[in-house]
Each structure stands twice: as C-alpha cells, then as structure tokens.
Amino acid sequence: GGSSAPAPPSGGSSAPAPSIYKITYNNGGGIGTAPAGPNTYTFGNSFKLPENTFARVGYDFNGWSEDFSKVIFKPGDTYNALQGDVSFTATWKKHKYEIKYLSGDGATGVGPIEPNNFEYGKNFEAPECKNDCYVKTGYVFNAWSNGVTTYKAGDEVITKDSDITLTAVWVIDNAAI
C-alpha cells in the first residue's frame, strides 16, 4: 500500500513567516499621545508595557487594563501575548483630598469630624459648628471661609484639585449683650 498524497515541493523553506500582531493604547479619558511602543509583537513572544504618556486632570494613572481580560498591568510589567491584536486602556484613580478645619481667632475646642475628605470633582456641604464644635466666648459661629469664599452651614463648598482649609468665622453674640 502506497500513499497517494503528493510529495512536498522540493527546495526552499517550508517554515511559515511569523505572525505579527498590533498593540493599541487607549487614553481612558485622558489626553495626550499614545506611548511610542511597543506597537506590535510577534506570535509567541512577550513584551513589556510602556510608561504612561497620557494625562488626566484630577487623576493619577493606575495602570494599563488589557481590554479583553480587564487585568491591570503596571508600566514595565511583562505581557505574555497569546495570539491576535491586543488593546490596553489607561485606568485612573481620582485624587482624594483632605479638609482641614481651623478654629479662627481665639476660638478653642475641636472642629467638625466630617466631612474630612473629598474626591476630585466632588463638592461637599459645609458642616454645622455647634454642640461639640469650636467655641469662642462672646461670639457665635457664623460660617466657614477658605480665604476667598464664605460658606454658611449647608452651603455647597466648591472644591479645586487640592486640599482645602476652612476657618471658622465668628460674629459677636448679641444675645449675650
């Protein structure tokens, strides 16, 4: 019994050319240009993820999310490529800021406990200052000031991309006169 399969062609290499696949980087809401590379990989090879080149106001870069698996990779991490084009999206973590309360001139005691922080882009409500809050003999609490704007308790405090300090504003207690 002979085989009826045709004989392989003679001469030349029969090894197929390696498959080259595309790597894409998406900004995930940031701005700027994508990393210079790597932009391709060869089937069966791994590659290292690049440094982030995108920027996003109020956020820190958190890593590259592989779009299919959603696994987060840090710059310099090795990605073991399987087969096919791959895409990564920049992930971001919102800045978180502290709120510091000051008693104001001559007042004593402890300031409000909450709110004590906020995330970038989120305003908060100015707290009340009564009962277990700052006290100033002969005065009553009136408002909070950030040095530019005065906020009555319950007012929306407009935040910036930074920590915030609110100082108690006092008025003479007319009821004590």
| DSSP of 100-147 | EEE--TT-BS----S--EEETT--EEPPP--SSS-B-TTEEEEEEE-S
The pLDDT value given to residue 5: 58
Instruction: Tell me the percentage of the chain whose pLDDT exceeds 70.
Output: 91
When pLDDT is averaged across residues 117-126 and rounded to a whole number, the result is 95
When pLDDT is averaged across residues 104-127 and rounded to a whole number, the result is 94
DSSP letter (8 states) at residue 174 = G
Residue 177 in this model has a pLDDT that exceeds 90 = no
Per-residue pLDDT reduced to its tens digit, 147-158: 999 999 999 999
When pLDDT is averaged across residues 118-124 and rounded to a whole number, the result is 94
pTM of the model: 0.67
Residue 72 in this model has a pLDDT that exceeds 80 = yes
Q: What is the mean pLDDT of the chain?
A: 91
Q: Quick one: tokens of 95?
A: 């800045």
The pLDDT value given to residue 16: 80
The pLDDT value given to residue 11: 58
Per-residue pLDDT reduced to its tens digit, 76-103: 999 998 779 999 999 999 999 999 999 9
Residue 4 in this model has a pLDDT that exceeds 90 = no
The pLDDT value given to residue 130: 82
Give the strand pairing for 139-145 and 117-119.
Answer: unpaired
Report the candidate in 135, 177, 169 with the shortest Cα–Cα distance to residue 152: 169
